[in-house]
Amino acid sequence: LAKTTQPISMDSYEGQEVNITCSHNNIATNDYITWYQQFPSQGPRFIIQGYKTKVTNEVASLFIPADRKSSTLSLPRVSLSDTAVYYCLVDRGDDKIIFGKGTRLHILP
Amino acid sequence: DAGVIQSPRHEVTEMGQEVTLRCKPISGHNSLFWYRQTMMRGLELLIYFNNNVPIDDSGMPEDRFSAKMPNASFSTLKIQPSEPRDSAVYFCASSSWTSGASYNEQFFGPGTRLTVL
pLDDT in tens, A27-37: 988 889 999 99
Q: Which residues pair with A89 in a beta bridge?
A: A34
Q: Encode pLDDT of A48-70 as tens digits.
A: 999 998 999 999 999 999 999 99
**Cα Rg, chain B, nearest whole Å:** 14
* Confidence class for position A79, pLDDT limits 50, 70, 90: very high
For testing contact with chain B, the best of A27, A95, A96, A99 (most B CBs within 10 A): A95
Q: Select from B95, B102, B108 the Cβ nearest to the Cβ of A44.
A: B108
Q: Select from A46, A94, A101 the Cβ nearest to the Cβ of B105.
A: A46
d(CA B116, CA B85): 8
Nearest CA in chain A to B10: A41
By the 10 Å C-beta count (0-12 exposed, 13-18 middle, 19+ buried), B45 is classed as buried
